[in-house]
Amino acid sequence: MEITGHAALVSGGASGLGAATVRELAAKRAVVTIFDQDESKAAALVDELGPSVSYVVGDVGDPQAVSRAVEQASTGAVLRINVNCAGIGWAKRTIGKEGEPHDLEAFKKVVSVNLIGTFNVMRLAAAAISKADPLGEAERGVIINTASVAAFEGQIGQVAYSASKGGVAGMTLPAARDLSVAGIRVNTIAPGIMDTPLIGFLSEESRKALADGVLFPKRLGTPQDYAGLVIAIIETPYLNGETIRLDGGLRMAPR
């Protein structure tokens, strides 16, 4: 699908994978709306990229906030692209060293943001995209969600995170089947270890140790790697219902 001149909504678009995606879409001359809780970072990105980019502040779990973002994204251009990058991390074993159980509210929070939040944005964006006029091969748009290799190889302490990302991967094919009648494709990217603010606290030694587990190239993934795959998915009309690992061949060990 052609990107130029079409509207895109990027949740979690103010930093990390989302910000790189916003930059790539803007470079392709899309009209981009950032949906994020961090207003200062969102505003800075708008200042950097110019009038083709705007933002709406809100939580992915809030239907009203998401509806505002979808409405803004549909103003001035036809909404055809939705990329969902918003997510949080959490590390806790099912039982701790003293035998204490995993905090249930923390588990619910991770699933609420990563899985339910992704679905909330996807369902509302899909409803808007379905109203667009069809393009070639009757395509109306594409939705790209973000899982993780933890969906398949969750490490010790990742039970909540892995469950949430496994859910995102698991809903990819049924969502693609649901939305096929509207000409909307759905795909998911499952990144490996990405060099984003989530691991910014690690030392250089720790980062090198993580990179050593990657087959090739021997480095951490970058937000630009992710954004490049987003563009490829959008521009490849026969790619649908798929979860794509972006990990340099990495397979996660238990710890």
Distance CA(240)–CA(180), nearest Å, equals 9
CA distance 44 to 100: 43
Helix H, strand E, coil C: the string for 205-230 is HHHHHHHHCCCCCCCCECHHHHHHHH
User: Which of 199, 231, 254, 182 has its CA nearest to residue 1?
Assistant: 231
**Which positions are annotated as active-site residues?**
161
Q: Given strand 141-146, what is the order of strands in its sheet?
A: 53-57, 31-36, 7-11, 79-84, 141-146, 184-191, 243-246
What H or E segment, with its residue span, contains residue 170? helix 159-170
Q: Is 137 left (phi over 0), alpha (psi -120 to 50) or beta?
A: left
Q: Is 157 left (phi over 0), alpha (psi -120 to 50) or beta?
A: left
Angle subtended at Cα 88 by Cα 239 and Cα 17, rounded to the nearest 5 degrees:
45
Local structure of 104: helix, strand or coil: helix
